[in-house]
Amino acid sequence: MLRIQKLVRRKGIADRLRATMKAGLRAALTDPLTGLHNRRYALPHLDRVDEAARAANKGYAVLLADIDDFKQVNDCHGHQAGDAVLAEVARRLAENVRAADLVSRFGGEEFLVTLPDTGPEAAAGVAERLRRAIRATPVSIGPGSAPIAVTISVGVATGPGAQAGPDGPRGRIDAADGALYAAKRAGRDRVERAPVPFRAQSERPEGASITPIRSSRSA
């Protein structure tokens, strides 16, 4: 009986250690504020999506979404309000994509959305849906404060599967980043799409390689 009790205790200790390790791994790959996966998880995930797309000769898309004028939220309303905006934007983004898609917090007020098996037109449609979901309703920032209007700008890039160039998935992020930069320069609250192939932003001539899909803000 004593031997059995010792075995049971050892198993309990081992189970708790495994649970602690799993919790630690989840914490390392999850953004604590938004509950989304973080950059550390998102980049290897994108590599897997790119590998699967090449093997199946299919496309995928990468979106980079950035909260417009986020610094003003922190400066005018405080960092707690900024945290509330980040959490709410993350929630709306996650609720407006498919189960197979991944929304991750890429850094600061920037979010990376990975869309497997998605072509350019469908990706642009998803980006526009996300933009509208954020713009549709002001964000509550706490008791005693009026909700504030929040918008995002989105850059869209697609990977052409087996025909992808040597830049690979990191090149898709660079492409989306260049398109996002163009959206910011064009007035924010916009979706811009980068054609494929796309050179890294540092190599891009001024004003080149960006295809707008919206020309003005809409209600």
pLDDT tens sequence across 125-144: 999 999 999 999 999 998 88
Active-site entry in 95, 109, 110, 206: 109
Inform me whether the pLDDT recorded for 15 exceeds 80: no
Average pLDDT, the chain: 83
Tokens read off for 45: 């995930």
Inform me whether the pLDDT recorded for 75 exceeds 60: yes
In whole angstroms, what is the distance from residue 46 CA to residue 174 CA? 13
Check if 109 is active-site. yes
211, amino acid identity: T
Percent of the chain with pLDDT over 90: 67
Contact 194, 157 (CB under 8 A): yes
Inform me whether the pLDDT recorded for 205 exceeds 70: no
In whole angstroms, what is the distance from residue 207 CA to residue 151 CA? 24
Q: Which long-range contacts (CB under 8 A, 24 or more apart) does 100-103 make?
A: 101/126, 102/37, 102/42, 102/45, 103/36
Q: In what order do the strands lie in the sheet with 102-107?
A: 37-38, 102-107, 110-116, 60-67, 152-159, 191-193, 211-212
Which pLDDT score is estimated for 159? 85
pLDDT tens sequence across 165-178: 556 889 999 999 99
Inform me whether the pLDDT recorded for 154 exceeds 80: yes
